[in-house]
Structure 1
């Protein structure tokens, strides 16, 4: 793998859907959460951003979505471009208008509103005809929501709430969908359903996906390319298949040893010394 990320240099005249260069994010003017992160997402790709809790993944997502200021965070250095246009200084509403929508960690639905009302909140500026079309599109993607359309969101299961959260984001017809930990707290069968839906969005509608995940196995199985973050920086990148075959990734992120057994983090001695990218 190219350690200096020279593979990030565009090889085509068409700019990537999303390009981040040398991003540095600080909180409270002093705490560095992200340092020198560069990545790109080509149109029509699923790109995963992986890493353990606290690695800086969600901070990157908040930076590209224009919502850092809500947590006293700011971009100190670097650039962010959406379809070739700089958005580092843009606010969240403007970024949505330019075609990128984030589904935040924890769903954050309007708990007292119905499923249908939550969906409508995602596209309140659209015409009645556009709203109806977008809503039916969501119901085709998540058929189980059809019978739940009048149910108050607070009474839904975690998986159903995640479907509504993704559906609400889709109501604005985004070109880029940023998903923050969509599998968090969900049962394996529901996670499989959510990830199948993500693949359908890309395959059937050409939606570009930036997927922030701790579930490396699931993410690497569906992504075109992936970046692994630790301590606020990108430490490894490659195609999903390349990273699935990487010995370090298999041991430290997929829980697979070089033999036939499984490796648990608590059983690994000299953890950092054995991680070659930290040397």
Structure 2
């Protein structure tokens, strides 16, 4: 059965669903979070955006979703185009209506509402006649959520809350799903279930996913393409096989470099970082 949030064949023919070009973002007009960040997201793919803490990954998602303002963030340069149309100046709810929905880091559920009430909040923009079908589709993707539909969400485990957060996003029929650190703080078994659901959204529904993750091995195991960010800009990109074979990626993101088993001083580490190919 084709779910209502699936992508049509016509949309898959477009070269890029999302194009970010030379994006510059500052906080308080003083702290540079992104500098000339550029990348593309092809329709129907899972694209991984990787990098360490502070690299700018979450800022990219907030820029796309139009939610920089709570932290005094501002786009001061560059562009974000969704299906060839600029997102500049659009309010967050307008961006959601265009089919872009973000699942933020930390889930951020309405913890005093039940699971079902949280899901219904995600589907507020849909016709009433579609709500029950949308709920059934979320419950099919996450059977564990259905079992707890009447529980107050604040009493759920972290993994269950993450499933509800993703389900809430799916209720609004996204065409581009933005996931911010979905594996953070979760047990391996729950992570496997959540990433299995992400694969299903791509494989069965042709949904486009922009996945922000610190766990590079995990992200690249499901991604069709990946970008690595350092210091607010994209420094390396390629298909997962290319990134997994890169020596610098192995060293700093996979823990597989030649020097991993040798003790090195912080000075040596900093020197190595400075000589990384993408920063030379």
TM over 0.5: yes
The residue correspondences of 1:21-32 to structure 2 (distance < 5 A) are 21-32=21-32
RMSD in angstroms over aligned alpha carbons?
1.8
Note if 1:208 corresponds to 2:208. yes
Report the alpha carbon displacement of residue 240 of structure 1 after superposing the two structures with TM: 1.1
1:76 alignment partner, SS class:
strand
Matching residue of 2:6:
none
Matching residue of 1:278:
279
1:253 alignment partner, SS class:
helix
Q: Which moved more, 1:247-256 or 1:121-130?
A: 121-130
For 1:17 and 1:264, locate their aligned partners in 2 and report how far apart those are by CA, in whole Å. Answer: 45
For 2:144 and 2:43, locate their aligned partners in 1 and report how far apart those are by CA, in whole Å. Answer: 29
Q: Deviations over 1:114-167 (max 9, x none)?
A: 100000000112222211111111000001111100011000000000000000
8 Å CA contact retained: 1:255, 1:263: no
Report the alpha carbon displacement of residue 187 of structure 1 after superposing the two structures with TM: 1.0
1:192 alignment partner, SS class:
helix
Report the alpha carbon displacement of residue 94 of structure 1 after superposing the two structures with TM: 0.6
8 Å CA contact retained: 1:256, 1:262: no
Q: Deviations over 1:20-74 (max 9, x none)?
A: 0000001111211000001100100100100001100000110001001111111
Q: Structure 2 vs 1, CA of residues 139 and 70 (structure 1 numbering), >3 Å: closer, same or farther? A: same
Q: Structure 2 vs 1, CA of residues 235 and 165 (structure 1 numbering), >3 Å: closer, same or farther? A: same
Note if 1:113 corresponds to 2:146. no
Matching residue of 1:47:
47
Paired residue total:
267
For 1:27 and 1:227, locate their aligned partners in 2 and report how far apart those are by CA, in whole Å. Answer: 23
1:194 alignment partner, SS class:
helix
Gap runs ≥5 in structure 1:
1-11
For 1:191 and 1:264, locate their aligned partners in 2 and report how far apart those are by CA, in whole Å. Answer: 31
Note if 1:16 corresponds to 2:16. yes
The residue correspondences of 1:205-244 to structure 2 (distance < 5 A) are 205-244=205-244
Matching residue of 1:96:
96
Matching residue of 1:174:
174
Matching residue of 1:71:
71
Gap runs ≥5 in structure 2:
1-11
Q: Deviations over 1:229-268 (max 9, x none)?
A: 1111111111111101111101110000248x76789786
Matching residue of 1:81:
81
Report the alpha carbon displacement of residue 272 of structure 1 after superposing the two structures with TM: 1.4
